[in-house]
Homo-oligomer: A and B are copies of this chain.
Amino acid sequence: MLRKTIQRDAIRKALVHAARPLTTQEILETAQEEVPQIGIATVYRTVKTLAEEGSIRTVVVPGEPDRYEVSGKAHHHHFSCRVCGRMFEMDGCPVGLENLVPKGFLMEDHEVFIYGRCDECN
């Protein structure tokens, strides 16, 4: 039986309140504002549980550690700021992806990453 702990609450809150996908480090830092003694192992454990139960989604990023975001959001992609390293959500989807797919290939899924500077760093 799953127990309700202040650590899990802090981690869940960090993810729910974030408007962007968070790394385990970012989750740790946010959760520490509420539960200072929380450790990284708890973040990994909780994130794993939340992902298994389906309430969060893993965002796998090129050349960077995984991020996590609450599931159920509308289809979207991500913007990665080269200055502050944060990753942001972008609504919508580019057009004509199916035209890229070579003949005979089957498209099941896609990912788009845009790199640049976020509004704060720009």
Instruction: Give the interface of A toward B (CB within 8 A).
Output: 60-63, 66, 77, 79, 81-82, 88, 90-97, 99-119, 122
Contact = CB atoms under 8 A, between A and B. Distances in A.
Quick one: copies of this chain in the complex? 2
B119 A101 contact: no
A60 B63 contact: yes
Contacts of A119: 102-105
A96 B90 CA distance: 13
A103 B88 CA distance: 12
A50 B20 CA distance: 36
A88 B95 CA distance: 20
A74 to B, nearest CB: 13
